[in-house]
């Protein structure tokens, strides 16, 4: 048996006539840039997440840059953000000449440690960029307390967080809708993933929405009249059509992921060399990534590879030790928890169409490794 880490073709084969029809419809319509399907999909995302406003852009990384630009994470503004995440969470600040101020993460949830963040505040701090990683949101209650106390804006990197919810002020709220802006990525592997790149900016603030909409088309609201120096970053119409089909099946897909996660938990719970993921802060998780902490991680990874099991390491290097961020002046040892996680985390295969037998095979293989 071979178990891929991720396989997009299974879902396509399941719903092939639906996908083929909507793709053909876009091509037949001849309207490729910001076609009707983009607006329809934005409305559907609003309805699903509770966002008042949604703006489709080319990818999640662009969504971050555009939102960070609008919130003025520029000119040396210090932005508190976790050191253990995907590169784009930080590069959006650095690219605009804002200053990323890294914070360590919680050892159990992998999300930004808001107490560490408070210790790193200065009079130049302007914003917080929390990341909702792997299966749950960061502690948004603590984040918003900090933001309110010090009058900071909040940009939620919800790239991985489609479908995740958290309790905020006694309300179950979708990820990305508590701060000023939230962003989603529709990169193919994401919970709601397209057949190419895609992203979205969400907000409940009308003024921010109008700016985001203008920024994605070169800062213009009327063609060839430019109020801002914006970007060329639009959600592709074909991708919007594909994503609309996927959104119709998303609840089932999320349930299937949860079922695999429950099976992993059940079958791996007695292995002492493994720490299973923990869910906190009143979060409703979505199992975008099933990430373990494992002893002898590198050997385990190799062993599983030889068995034909795909795994992934999110993330092998914390951001403060990336070459391009040397100029920020951090040292090895500055973020002990993130550095430790980079050496122990291992993500197992996780996508809706995995089978029970495949998950069993992964678990049996892990057991066999530790029993050698």
Ligand X SMILES: *Cc1c(COP(=O)(O)O)cnc(C)c1O
| Least distance in angstroms from the C-beta of 205 to ligand X | 21
Q: Does 312 bind ligand X (CB under 6 A)?
A: no
Residue number, 88 or 300, with CB nearest to ligand X: 88
Nearest to 48 by CA among 249, 343, 321: 249
Nearest to 152 by CA among 107, 114, 197: 114
From candidates 59, 166, 173, 283, binder to ligand X by CB under 6 A: 59
Q: Does 86 bind ligand X (CB under 6 A)?
A: yes
Residue number, 185 or 365, with CB nearest to ligand X: 185
Q: What count of residues does the chain have? A: 372
Nearest to 228 by CA among 218, 237, 238: 218
Between helices 250-268 and 237-248, what is the axis angle to 10°? 60
Q: Does 159 bind ligand X (CB under 6 A)?
A: yes
Q: Scanning residues 15 to 44, which ones bind ligand X (CB under 6 A)? A: none
Start-to-end CA span in the chain (Å)? 20
Q: Is 336 exposed, middle or buried (0-12, 13-18, 19+ CB in 10 A)?
A: exposed
Q: Does 85 bind ligand X (CB under 6 A)?
A: yes
Do 59 and 199 meet the contact criterion of CB atoms below 8 Å apart? yes
Residue number, 212 or 363, with CB nearest to ligand X: 212
Q: Does 237 bind ligand X (CB under 6 A)?
A: no
From candidates 82, 199, 230, 277, binder to ligand X by CB under 6 A: 199
Q: DSSP string of 328-347?
A: G---TTSSHHHHHHHHHEEE
Other beta carbons within 10 Å of 200: 31
Q: Which residue has the closest beta carbon to ligand X?
A: 60
From candidates 38, 55, 88, 192, binder to ligand X by CB under 6 A: 88
Which among 59-67, 75-83, 140-148, 352-360 is the span making contact with ligand X, rule CB under 6 A?
A: 59-67
Residue numbers at the binding site for ligand X (CB under 6 A): 59-61, 85-86, 88-89, 131, 157, 159-160, 185, 187, 197, 199
């Amino acid at each position: 048996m071979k178990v891929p880490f991720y396989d997009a073709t299974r879902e396509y084969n399941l719903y092939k006539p639906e996908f083929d029809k909507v793709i053909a419809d876009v091509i037949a319509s001849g309207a490729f840039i910001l076609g009707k399907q983009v607006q329809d999909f934005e409305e559907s995302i609003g309805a699903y997440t509770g966002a008042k406003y949604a703006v489709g852009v080319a990818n999640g990384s662009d969504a971050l840059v555009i939102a960070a630009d609008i919130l003025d994470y520029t000119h040396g503004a210090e932005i508190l953000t976790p050191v253990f995440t995907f590169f784009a969470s930080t590069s959006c600040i650095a690219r605009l000449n804002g200053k990323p101020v890294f914070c360590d993460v919680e050892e159990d949830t992998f999300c930004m440690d808001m107490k560490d963040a408070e210790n790193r505040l200065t009079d130049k701090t302007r914003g917080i960029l929390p990341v909702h990683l792997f299966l749950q949101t960061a502690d948004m209650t603590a984040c918003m307390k900090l933001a309110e106390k010090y009058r900071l804006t909040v940009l939620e990197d919800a790239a991985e967080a489609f479908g995740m919810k958290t309790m905020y002020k006694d309300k179950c709220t979708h990820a990305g809708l508590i701060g000023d802006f939230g962003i989603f990525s529709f990169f193919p592997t994401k919970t709601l993933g397209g057949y190419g790149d895609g992203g979205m900016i969400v907000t409940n603030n009308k003024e921010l929405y109008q700016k985001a909409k203008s920024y994605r088309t070169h800062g213009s609201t009327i063609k060839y009249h430019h109020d801002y120096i914006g970007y060329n970053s639009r959600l592709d119409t074909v991708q919007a059509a594909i994503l609309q089909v996927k959104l119709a099946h998303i609840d089932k897909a999320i349930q299937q992921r949860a079922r695999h996660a429950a099976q992993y938990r059940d079958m791996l719970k007695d292995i002492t060399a493994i720490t299973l993921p923990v869910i906190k802060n009143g979060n409703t998780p979505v199992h975008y990534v099933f990430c373990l902490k494992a002893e002898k991680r590198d050997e385990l990874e190799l062993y599983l590879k030889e068995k034909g099991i795909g795994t992934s390491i999110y993330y092998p290097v914390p951001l403060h030790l990336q070459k391009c961020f040397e100029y920020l002046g951090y040292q090895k040892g500055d973020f002990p928890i993130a550095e430790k996680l980079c050496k122990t985390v291992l993500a197992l295969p996780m996508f809706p169409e995995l089978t029970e037998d495949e998950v069993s095979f992964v678990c049996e293989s892990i057991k066999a490794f530790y029993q050698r």
